[in-house]
Amino acid sequence: MASRALSAVAAGGYGLALRLYRRLPRRARLFVVHKTHPAFTVGAISVIERGDGALLLVRHSYRHAWGFPGGLLKRGEDVAAGARREAMEEVALEIELLGEPAVVVDPGPRRVDVVFRARPVGDPSGAHADSPEIVELAWFPPDALPGLQHEAAGALVALARASGQPASVPTGRA
């Protein structure tokens, strides 16, 4: 009986809080939400495939395993524009994004990655490390991928799931 009464009091308090919340101006409501809910960073990853099926991988200066071109979005940046920007900044390659992206939510580091399939626009042989972040890049056949960063492996799995294909990917130290 006591637990039922306690539940009723809690429900009443929650209802009151919701009624007060509803009366707050929009900016104040957003402030409350941002302060009481976890923040996530959002990144864009491009899985760039050449005409022969090879995938473009990069090794970042701060990681050991291989990954895909990508990075965090700038404040207010459209995710597709961010994916194209990161490919140009990291590997000097203009890309075309293909189809709908997949999304990977990693609650540990509170990161959301939007993963795009992409192909080079024009000649892919011009791709080169164009950022201090990138120490090496190479094209790999999909059946001979090196050890991948956790995020890169997750990106491939997410794209495979989105297209209904099975995925098995090698992982390395991140």
pLDDT at 169: 56
Q: At 56, is the pLDDT very low, low, confident or very high (cuts 50, 70, 90)?
A: very high
Name the band, by pLDDT with cuts 50, 70 and 90, for residue 2: low
What residue segments make up the domains of the chain, in order of their start?
2-36, 41-163
CATH of 41-163, one of 3.90.79.10, 3.50.50.60, 3.60.15.10, 3.30.70.980: 3.90.79.10
What is the model's pLDDT at position 19? 81
pLDDT value of position 142 = 93
Note the pTM of the prediction, 2 decimals: 0.77
Region 35-55: mean pLDDT is 91
Integer Cα distance of 55 and 118 in angstroms: 10
- Percent of the chain whose predicted confidence (pLDDT) is above 90: 59
% of the chain exceeding 70 in pLDDT:
88
pLDDT confidence band for 20 (50 / 70 / 90): confident
Provide the pLDDT confidence category of residue 173 given band limits of 50, 70 and 90: very low
Residue 12 pLDDT level (bands cut at 50, 70, 90): low
* Mean of per-residue pLDDT scores for the chain: 86
- pLDDT on residue 167: 58
104-152 pLDDT per residue, tens: 999 888 899 999 999 999 999 989 998 888 999 999 999 999 999 999 9
